[in-house]
Amino acid sequence: MTPVSRVVDAVGRRETAVLHMVCGKIASGKSTLTARLADAARTVLVSEDKWIACLYPDEIHTLTDYASRAARMRTLLTEHIQVLLAAGISVVLDFPFNTASTRAWGHSLFQAVGCEHRLHYLDVNDEICKARLMARNVSGEHPFQTSEEQYDQITRYFVPPAFGEGFNITVYDETGKVRFRTGS
């Protein structure tokens, strides 16, 4: 794929595509933030939960089920996401970039196209996430219900991003306020 991620708009300004990725524990606010980021012009939102719910209904019963379906879906979407970015369309991925391996996939997406990127890290403690999770489960608005036991099982794999991973990072607190930013 040719690294072309800039387009010229109708008045001659250069527009640069941005790949937005999110990192944070379950119920830390990733979907809320990605919905807000996707409000920008020339931006599309891709939600892992929605895609998995549509592609694999009633197939996710264990963490292993989720991991295999999510990996398959990332393989399927890689070229599509890169084509959007190369066309100058920003992409917000509502995917959990919570491990070094998932972040490596995100890194490969923006590197292949040569576009801007930002990893949004929601640094929210377990107590707050679990309270939000219970409220989310009660509301029934999320495609998946997650128990506290599942939360603990999944969170064991969570690894905060390291500055040496090569990302421009924005860190948010539990209220959604920016604590600090790295990179451009």
pLDDT tens for each residue of 145-166 = 888 998 999 999 999 999 899 9
Closest CA to 18 of 143, 101, 131, 119: 119
- Mean pLDDT, the chain, rounded, equals 90
Helix (H, G, I), strand (E, B) or coil at 180: strand
pTM higher than 0.95, yes or no? no
pLDDT at 132: 94
Per-residue confidence band for 104, with pLDDT thresholds at 50, 70 and 90: very high
Q: What percent of the chain has pLDDT over 70?
A: 90
Distance between CA atoms of residues 12 and 84, nearest Å: 20
35 is a domain residue? yes
Which carries the bigger pLDDT value, residue 1 or residue 48? 48
Range among 8-12, 147-151, 169-173 with highest mean pLDDT value = 169-173
Helix (H, G, I), strand (E, B) or coil at 70: helix
Which residues span the domain enclosing 77?
Answer: 17-175
11 is a domain residue? no
Which carries the bigger pLDDT value, residue 118 or residue 54? 118
CATH number at residue 143: 3.40.50.300
Digit-coded pLDDT (tens) for 124-143: 999 999 999 999 888 877 66
Helix (H, G, I), strand (E, B) or coil at 19: strand
* Range name among 21-25, 40-44, 63-67, 91-95 with the lowest pLDDT average: 63-67
pLDDT at 1: 46
pLDDT at 12: 45
- Does residue 50 surpass a pLDDT of 70? yes
140 is a domain residue? yes
The gap between the terminal CA atoms of the chain, to the nearest Å, is 24
Q: What percent of the chain has pLDDT over 90?
A: 73
Q: How many domains does the chain have?
A: 1
- Does residue 106 surpass a pLDDT of 70? yes
Locus of tokens 């592609």:
55
Cβ pair 153, 62 in contact under 8 A: no
Range among 57-61, 117-121, 138-142 with highest mean pLDDT value = 117-121
Cβ pair 36, 84 in contact under 8 A: no
DSSP 163: G
Helix (H, G, I), strand (E, B) or coil at 63: helix
Query: In the chain, how long is the greatest CA-to-CA distance?
Result: 54
